[in-house]
Chain A
Amino acid sequence: MDIILEGKKLNKSFKTGEKKTQVLCDVDFFLKEGEVLGIVGESGSGKSTLLRVASGLEKPDSGELLYKGRDYTGSSPRQTGEFLQILFQDAESSFDPRMTMERSIMEAGRGKKDKEELLKLVKMAGLDEELLKRKPGKLSGGQCQRMAIVRAFYSGAEILLCDEMTSALDVSTQAQVMQIMQRLKKEGKLSAVFVSHDIALVSEICDRIMVMKDGRCVEEGETPEVIGSPKDDHTKELIESARKQSIG
């Protein structure tokens, strides 16, 4: 499999008054075509910032971003949107509250107006086409997240960047969304970076896992390898706390 997305030596810091906080320190990552990469870590570990940097929503202080070997460092979200889409934690807020779902999804098509394809995708996501006429406030969190998946595929983006996309959902809705992701993965339609604090959830869908702590990658490898025999203490802690949670 060819590498579709790559980040090399990425650094990012934020300045609050006099204080400078380093959020990413020399982070490297890569994503192969048809692969799902999981990025896990506690809050503040830099995983969401990494996603924002990769999407062009934030510019890295230094480092290189490559799409199919082509440098796109410093590109605006308008440019990166040609090959990637973001699935936000709060899917409802990613849709204009005054627009119908259909209009919002069509907007992501960059001029494309293919109702047939849209209906096919809505069906694939297990949603009723009637929901397309509704505004986001009239949909549940799970329905909104599935609509966001529909939008991402309708846009024709090759890469999905999922930022804690199931965190705001209840357990059963989370399972429904994950089922769709699993199905898309099986069909080979999914090249995604899946950011979450929940290592158990990440291990369900991801081929590889990258563990982050304090803006650095502390461990990276194939999912069975990272989950089965973690090398870093932080990874061990994350796995242990996930285990305790599932028992509790």
Chain B
Amino acid sequence: MKKKKLKAKIIILSVLALLLLLMTCFAGLVAKNDPNATSAAAIRTAPCADYPFGTDNLGRCVFSRVLYGGRTTITATFFLVAVSFAAGTLIGMICGYHGGIIDGILMRIADIMLAFPQMVVAIAVAGILGGGMKGAMIALGITMWVSFARLARSHTFSLKKEAFIKAALIAGKGDIYIIIVHILPNLLAPVLTNALTQIGTTMIGLSGLSFLGLGVVPPTAEWGSMISEGRAYIQIAPWAVLYPALATLITIIIFNCLGDAVMDYREA
């Protein structure tokens, strides 16, 4: 019964996530205004038929910028999570399978990464690399692989002791074959669940860096930078902050709930 409820929850959340992705992917079809077009006549216009979410300090359509900004934020987040997932899982599997000196070195590096709060490291690295989305992604990616690596390592470590791995060894299979054919498919579910829960955290990280001026370069629309720009005139045009903040909040809630639901479903 519990599993059935969780399955329904996962389906609803997946549909919402898909809708969100489709809206940002096809932003050009949904938003009728150019996200970067300024209009002196429409500066800080309140939400109306032409501008559903109002306009900002330069007269740009907030609705269009939220949709196009979502494309930037979501694409960067998915790319970063995918790269960290691939790199972290690979490192974790190698460490867990081989152990020894490679495991010792890589896991100590991971410990160092975990010794500092992720955002502090990201701000420092992004500061060194300068502004731009590329720099922000590298800054977050430096610490993001660690959670995937540790998870993959611990699962590989216990899978390695399973009789079916011993059976594969006796069947003459090589280490690469065992890692790819036997270990990877068996640890994919928990690591993918972790990837889902990481989407929200990464989105906050990227938006946070953009908010601090270490993310996207203006005039590119991005939720964090929109909030940062809008806060200067929040009292006269609150919609310029409200809508990108709401978009961030809703997206993070959807992906976090989806991650939690998948995790609960697996444990149920």
Residues of A that sit less than 8 Å from B by CB: 55, 57, 76-78, 80-82, 84-86, 88, 90, 93-98, 104, 107-110, 151, 155
On whether the beta carbons of A108 and B163 are closer than 8 Å, the reply is: no
What are 24 A-B residue pairs whose CB atoms fall within 8 Å in the complex?
A55-B170, A77-B170, A78-B169, A78-B172, A78-B174, A81-B169, A81-B171, A81-B172, A82-B172, A84-B170, A86-B166, A86-B170, A88-B167, A93-B163, A94-B166, A94-B167, A95-B164, A95-B167, A96-B164, A96-B182, A97-B186, A98-B185, A104-B164, A109-B171
Chain B interface main SS type:
helix
Residues of A within 8 A of B76 (CB): none
On whether the beta carbons of A78 and B163 are closer than 8 Å, the reply is: no
Residues of A within 8 A of B169 (CB): 57, 76-78, 81
Question: 0/1 per residue, B182-212, Cβ < 8 Å to A?
Answer: 1001100000000000000000000000000
What separation, in Å, do the CA atoms of A55 and B174 have in the docked complex?
17
Residues of A within 8 A of B167 (CB): 86, 88, 94-95, 104, 108, 151
Does B168 belong to the interface (CB within 8 Å)? yes
On whether the beta carbons of B171 and A155 are closer than 8 Å, the reply is: yes
In the complex, how many angstroms separate the beta carbon of A53 from the nearest chain B beta carbon? 14
What separation, in Å, do the CA atoms of A230 and B212 have in the docked complex?
83
Does B267 belong to the interface (CB within 8 Å)? no
On whether the beta carbons of A88 and B163 are closer than 8 Å, the reply is: yes
Given contact pairs A90-B163, A93-B162, A94-B164, A107 touches B171 in the complex (Cβ within 8 A): yes
- Of B162, B170, B181, B185, the residue contacting A78 (CB under 8 A) is B170
Residues of A within 8 A of B172 (CB): 78, 81-82, 110
What separation, in Å, do the CA atoms of A204 and B142 have in the docked complex?
62
Does B173 belong to the interface (CB within 8 Å)? yes
What separation, in Å, do the CA atoms of A48 and B168 have in the docked complex?
19
What separation, in Å, do the CA atoms of A82 and B172 have in the docked complex?
8
Q: Which chain B residues in 139-169 approach chain A with CB under 8 Å?
A: 162-164, 166-169
User: Please, which residue of chain B has its CB at the minimum distance from the CB of A80?
Assistant: B170
In the complex, how many angstroms separate the beta carbon of B72 from the nearest chain A beta carbon? 37
In the complex, how many angstroms separate the beta carbon of B98 from the nearest chain A beta carbon? 14
Question: 8 shortest A-B CB distances, which residue pairs?
Answer: A81-B170, A94-B163, A77-B169, A108-B171, A93-B163, A88-B163, A96-B164, A77-B170
On whether the beta carbons of B173 and A107 are closer than 8 Å, the reply is: yes
What separation, in Å, do the CA atoms of A64 and B182 have in the docked complex?
32
Q: Given known contacts A81-B171, A90-B163, what 9 new A-B pairs fall within 8 Å (CB)?
A: A78-B172, A81-B169, A86-B166, A94-B163, A96-B186, A97-B186, A98-B186, A104-B164, A110-B172
What separation, in Å, do the CA atoms of A88 and B186 have in the docked complex?
20
Given contact pairs A98-B185, A98-B186, A93 touches B171 in the complex (Cβ within 8 A): no
User: Please, which residue of chain B has its CB at the minimum distance from the CB of A93?
Assistant: B163
Given contact pairs A96-B186, A108-B171, A77 touches B166 in the complex (Cβ within 8 A): yes
In the complex, how many angstroms separate the beta carbon of A45 from the nearest chain B beta carbon? 21
On whether the beta carbons of A107 and B168 are closer than 8 Å, the reply is: yes
What separation, in Å, do the CA atoms of A36 and B174 have in the docked complex?
31
What separation, in Å, do the CA atoms of A240 and B242 have in the docked complex?
82
What separation, in Å, do the CA atoms of A80 and B167 have in the docked complex?
12
In the complex, how many angstroms separate the beta carbon of B196 from the nearest chain A beta carbon? 20
User: Please, which residue of chain A has its CB at the minimum distance from the CB of B161?
Assistant: A93
